[in-house]
Amino acid sequence: MKVFGIAAPMTGSGKTTVTLAFLSRLKNSTGFKIGPDYIDGGLSSRVTGNRTWNIDRWIQGRAYSSVLAGAASKYDYGIVEGVMGLYDSGSPINLSTYYYFRKFSIPYVLVIDVSKLAESAYYIAKSFITRLTLGVVINRYASHKHLEMVSKPFTEHGIPIIGAIPREDRFTVPERHLGLHTGQEMDDIGEKASLVSNYLDMGFIDDLPEREFQQPSPATISGGGKNIWIALDRAFNFYYADSIWALERIGKVNYFSPVSGERPENPDMVYFGGGYPELYAPELSANHALSGMIRDYSESGGNIIAECGGLMYLEREMETESGVYPMGGVFNGTVRKNERLTLSYTQLKAVQDSLLFRKGEIVRGHEFHYSSIADQGEKTLVNIIGKGIDGMDGLKIKNTLGSYSHFSLNRYSKRLERKINGH
């Protein structure tokens, strides 16, 4: 696999736009996203038609190094999109884009937003140019005169200009309270990416070497005929690819759309990921067949994992600007919208056993939401880092586990397999 990265001096520079543009031109390609972001990965998957993989050693543990290796044999090209600015981390351990690029010797393209810069763009960029830098993409220039002013210092200092993208609204991916719109919501994202790709020079890719990545072997799972159902639609689409990969090794993965009124058939496990259930509260509330089935399944001891948006759906009710809507009713809490974003890596201690975790275990995840939950139900996790539900998380009823934190199921795949198989 030929692989390269996309980085920038700061967030909002256009990394996602450039990543999607490159992917739109490369057949049999896949995207990788450094950090816990689901939305960029969903957009990449919509463009390529292939799974996008997060790389995050906080959440995935030592298994993070297996992600590139696992994909290398399946695809011809891989593009690794960075997180925030090149050196940004803000964590107890180094989680910066540059850490991963240096760890795996990944060459990268630097994206520079020049909308408020001219010659100064070079002097900002040079602090982010290293031996791994392939060149720069000049983004959001206003005119040909502006582009000439920006380009001159790069040319004089021998920095290749791989692309130059004008500032045009048609190239913009729309945003909302949690970030960019998701791939499930953007039918035209492939067209947008293809338009932007016309401003990129793809020639450097021919000179990239074919790469092989060494990996530790994934946890051996026996597999089998267990039916695993995953909620997937416009309301629920935040999933780590390595979590889905783990579930595929355990059993047969099926998908259903709660928004469309669908429900799982003969499940051995149901997985509700994150997303935007608050935007589809009327449709979800109207799906009485699903909510009744999920309550019965939970009460019978069925295996359910619900993360963030999934947890919000399993609560008794959700308050939105248009009214209060009954939800799944597995848990007995109320979901309310917050004006302030909760965004954090999380570290938690298990205070009792649950479907995924053992008492006393320290686990790591990520939370990302504009909501709060009032629920006095039994909780199995206490936050060391992160907010959760008033400092606790991991709501539990029998074999149902609901959390504000998102986790890598691949990290706990052997344990989950035993639970699903009744051991």
Confidence of residue 90 (pLDDT cuts 50, 70, 90): confident
Quote the pLDDT of residue 130.
98
Do 124 and 161 have their domain in common?
yes
Q: Residue 327: which residues within 8 A CB-CB, separation 6 or more? A: 277, 281, 284, 285, 291, 312, 313, 314, 315, 316, 317, 318, 335
Q: 296: number of CA atoms within 13 Å, CB side? A: 10
End-to-end CA distance of the chain: 39
Q: 218: number of CA atoms within 13 Å, CB side? A: 24
- Structure confidence by residue, pLDDT tens digits, 197-242: 999 999 999 999 999 887 655 555 555 689 999 999 999 999 999 9
The SS3 assignment for 152 reads helix
Q: Which CATH number fits the domain that encloses residue 342? A: 3.40.50.880
Distance CA(73)–CA(374), nearest Å, equals 46
DSSP 51: -
Say if 199 falls within a structural domain.
yes
Distances in Å between the alpha carbon of 290 and those of 118, 285, 299, 332, 392?
56, 9, 14, 17, 28
Average pLDDT, the chain: 92
Do 53 and 93 have their domain in common?
yes
Average pLDDT over residues 400-409: 97
Quote the pLDDT of residue 176.
45
Nearest to 236 by CA among 201, 185, 167, 195: 185
Do 128 and 240 have their domain in common?
no
Do 274 and 339 have their domain in common?
yes
Decide: residue 102, CB within 10 A, 0-12 exposed, 13-18 middle, 19+ buried: middle
Do 316 and 373 have their domain in common?
yes
> Does the predicted model carry a pTM greater than 0.85?
yes
Active site residue 6: no
- Structure confidence by residue, pLDDT tens digits, 267-293: 999 999 999 999 999 999 999 999 999
Q: What is the separation of C-alpha 38 from the centre of its chain, rounded to a whole number of angstroms?
A: 2
Do 254 and 198 have their domain in common?
no
Token pair for 166: 């004008």
> Which of 207, 237, 254 delimits the end of a domain?
207
Quote the pLDDT of residue 327.
98
Nearest to 294 by CA among 327, 252, 333, 251: 327
CB contact burial 198-209 (16+ within 10 A = b; e otherwise): ebbeeeebeeee
Do 128 and 235 have their domain in common?
no
How many independent structural domains does the chain possess?
2
Q: Which CATH number fits the domain that encloses residue 179? A: 3.40.50.300
- Structure confidence by residue, pLDDT tens digits, 326-357: 999 999 999 999 888 899 999 999 999 999 99
Q: Can you give the residue range of the structural domain that contains 405?
A: 227-420
Q: In this structure, are residues 8 and 113 in contact, taking their beta carbons and an 8 Å threshold?
A: yes
Catalytic hit among 34, 308, 314, 355: 308
Nearest to 243 by CA among 358, 405, 391, 3: 405
Q: Which residue has the tokens 């997937």?
A: 232
> Which of 207, 238, 268 delimits the end of a domain?
207
Do 261 and 406 have their domain in common?
yes
Say if 373 falls within a structural domain.
yes
Distances in Å between the alpha carbon of 358 and those of 351, 353, 354, 394, 412?
8, 4, 6, 12, 11
Do 160 and 247 have their domain in common?
no
Do 160 and 26 have their domain in common?
yes
Distance CA(101)–CA(133), nearest Å, equals 10
Say if 216 falls within a structural domain.
no
Residue 366 pLDDT more than 60?
Answer: yes
Distance CA(36)–CA(171), nearest Å, equals 24
